Amino acid sequence: MGANVRPAALHPRLAPKLAASAAALAVAGGAVACGGGTPASSAVVSVSNGGCGAGWKLAGPGWHTFQVYNAAAEGAEVDLVDPANGAIYAEVEALGPGTTSPMRLNVGSGSYEFRCLFEDADAITGPTVTVGGHARGTPAIVPVTRNDLFGPARTYHDWIAAGLGTLAGQTATLAADVRGGNLAKAKADWLTAHLTYERLGAAYDAFGDFDGQINGTAAGLDGGVSSPDWTGFYRLEYGLWHGQRARQLTGVANTLVSDVRGLRDAWPAMEIDLLDMGLRTHEILENALQFQLSGQDDYGSGTTLATVGANIDGTRELLTVLHPLLAPRYAGLAAVTTWLDRLASLLDKAKRPNGAWVPVSGLSTSLREQIDAATSQALEELSPIAVITEPRRT
């Protein structure tokens, strides 16, 4: 639909592919009103090692789409920033040599400059353009740097180390129950230990191979629940709640103890990827929604709602360590708290009067809908955090 429309000012070196995409954008911008109601403008901004957007202009406030073209021989990250504090209005990441990518934003009153980051080189900035008046535009966010994240990562690392110490003791108790044939106590101690682990927020390989050993499910194993390769909390849960005998489970329990010790001992040397902390603020509950609230990871104990509660705790710990970075950058932080609180209180409501947990299949339709809705809304509120706290070069 508009492949024959060509923007007038395309850079001559632009590859055909780029021309097509620029054309599509121009059509989009021209034919359809943009959010701000002002017609969009589109202009090519060229960057290279020798200059970052030299000669670029802004006609005025409103929606603008810049076609950012990388004339250098290497990849670049290009940001449009506020010269006063380096806050980023918009960014194009991983812009390959000779390629163009659109950067779209609603320009408000303020100062703007392009900042180019080529590999292994200091940032270079281009000329500053100032838009006067009192127009509101896309707000800029001060980027989070690796330096900013070291402190929170250290705090989080220590918190996990402490949790793993606790966990080692709890799994030892659990294994002793099993060895001693006290399976009723083992069930109670299983839950205590499992929740401790879940509180640590081991979403998406946080603990490398240890997580699969300690908390893997039967999914993906040949033979499923009868696979001899299945180890860890869920394997033990399956046995305890499916009438398996203490003798059958002793090996499983002992293996769990040694795997937890292995993780505890390895942890001091394991690093936290700085990007991961932000990612995990929503990934922990993504997993909770997918596997716990669906009931999928219920191997018999009916405690997936308790797991979700532990996952909330783990999420809150991350929010706590990241709080100094988030508070000035994320206006939605209060809503995060609101929805996590609501979810936690719904989980409390779901317990039996004696405090026992109810499997999700035993919830009333209405309560289950409220829990799922609150989790989903919390996830929406959490999702910007990973983007905001992604470590960026400045």
Partner 1 sequence: MPEPADPAPTGSVPSDSGPGDSGPGDSGPGDSGPGETGTPGAAEPARRRVFLLGGLGAGVAGAVAGAAGGYAYRATRAASAGQQARADAEAGGLPPVPFHGRYQAGILPPAARQTAVISFNATADGRGELIGLFRTITDRARFLTAGGTPPPAGIGGAPSDSGTLGPAVVPDGLTVTLGVGSTLFDERYGLSARLPARLTPMRTFPDDNLDPAQTGGDLVLQLSAGHPDTVMHALRDIARHTRGGMQAIWRMDGFTSPARPAGTVPRNQLGFMDGISNPDPASQAQMDELVWIQPGTAGEPAWTAGGSYFVVRLIRMLVEFWDRVDIAEQENMIGRRRATGYPLDSNAIHATPDFARDPSGAVIPLTSHIRLANPRTAKTGDSRILRRGYNYDRGIDDVGNLDIGLLFTCFQQDLKRQFEAVQTRLIGEPLVDYISPFGGGYFLALPGVRDGSDYLGRSLLAGTG
> Footprint of partner 1 on this chain (CB under 8 A)?
1, 24-25, 27-29, 31-35, 40, 63, 88-91, 102, 104-106, 138-141, 143, 330, 339, 342, 365-366, 369-370, 372-374, 376-377, 379-380, 383-384, 387-388, 390, 392
Smallest gap from Cβ 71 to partner 1, in A, equals 24
Q: Which is nearer to partner 1, 140 or 178 (CB)?
A: 140
Query: DSSP letters of 91-134?
Result: EEEEE-TT-EEEEEEEE-SEEEEEEEEETTS--EE---EEE-S-
Smallest gap from Cβ 38 to partner 1, in A, equals 12
Smallest gap from Cβ 329 to partner 1, in A, equals 8
In the chain, the N- to C-terminal Cα span, in Å, equals: 40
Cα 36 to its chain centre, rounded Å, is 29
Contact 44, 10 (CB under 8 A): yes
Q: Which is nearer to partner 1, 28 or 218 (CB)?
A: 28
* Residue whose tokens read 């991350």: 318
Contact 75, 119 (CB under 8 A): yes
Tokens of 369: 């809908």
Smallest gap from Cβ 369 to partner 1, in A, equals 4
* Residue whose tokens read 């499910």: 217
Contact 380, 286 (CB under 8 A): no
Q: Which is nearer to partner 1, 264 or 368 (CB)?
A: 368
Could you give the CA distance from residue 48 to residue 118 in angstroms, rounded to a whole number? 9
Smallest gap from Cβ 95 to partner 1, in A, equals 15
The widest CA-to-CA distance across the chain, in whole angstroms, is 81
